[in-house]
Amino acid sequence: MRTHGLRRLSVECLEQRRCLAASIGWDGPGPGSAELLYSIGPIPEQLDRQQVETAIEAALDVWSDVADLEFNRTTQSGQEDAIDIRFKSLDGPGGTLARAYFPDDLNRNPIAGDVEFDIGEQWEVGNRLGSAAYDLMLVAVHEIGHALGLDHTHEAESVLAPFVSPNQFFTSLSPADVD
């Protein structure tokens, strides 16, 4: 959905979400902590695999730098306590950029915490292409926030704001994101 040059990020399919609920996040080894696996599926041909992997790992680090989280990479998708990251066809260009599923307190494994980027969109790392592509790092930080149990916020500077412009790129979390 286009709204004056802004695009709505999707958290999860509304058809699968019958009530508005907040996630309490993953259950880790202590209060407020989690140890999660993550996998990165196939990368679209137009993207450089190393750049995508670096951007995803940096997006995970953004969250582990401000919370008691540990992420360990695996090559096997579909495991418990794991975030599977993949590109797939969601709705084609001009629609939903990406979606993430809340943790296993609201979604069953293996979909719990998964992140999906629409293969039909134009992606880049950074903002070299300006309004011609979306910054994968910015959208990854946003969606991983949802995969960790965080919902949208109304704070305009927050990475968890529900809208993104193709001219935006990730710089840092806002104080609202860290809180």
Question: Which residues face 116 on adjacent strands?
Answer: 86, 99
Q: CB-hemisphere CA count at 13 Å for 77?
A: 12
Indicate the angle between helix axes 136-147 and 49-64, nearest 10 degrees.
50
What is the tens place of the pLDDT at every residue in 33-61? 789 999 999 998 889 999 999 999 999 99
What is the tens place of the pLDDT at every residue in 75-134? 999 999 999 999 999 988 888 999 999 987 787 888 889 999 999 999 999 888 888 899
Residue 143 annotated to the active site: yes
Tell me the torsion sign for CA atoms 155, 159, 162, 164.
Answer: positive
Q: CA 124 to CA 97: how far, in whole Å?
A: 13
Task: Judge if the upstream peptide bond of residue 44 is cis by omega within 30 degrees of 0.
Answer: no
CB contact at 8 A, 152 and 134: no
Residue 20 has pLDDT above 50, yes or no: no
**pLDDT value at residue 33:** 79
Residue 16 has pLDDT above 60, yes or no: no
- Around Cβ 167, how many Cβ atoms within 10 Å? 13
Q: CB-hemisphere CA count at 13 Å for 121?
A: 25
CB contact at 8 A, 106 and 23: yes
Q: Above pLDDT 70, what percent of the chain? A: 84
CB contact at 8 A, 40 and 53: yes
Say which residue the tokens 């999707």 belong to: 10
Q: Which of 116, 121, 124, 143 is an active site residue?
A: 143
Q: What are phi and psi of 138, to 5 degrees?
A: -60, -50
Q: CA 5 to CA 2: how far, in whole Å?
A: 6
Amino acid letter for position 48: D
What is the tens place of the pLDDT at every residue in 21-30? 567 777 766 6
Q: What is the pTM of this model?
A: 0.85
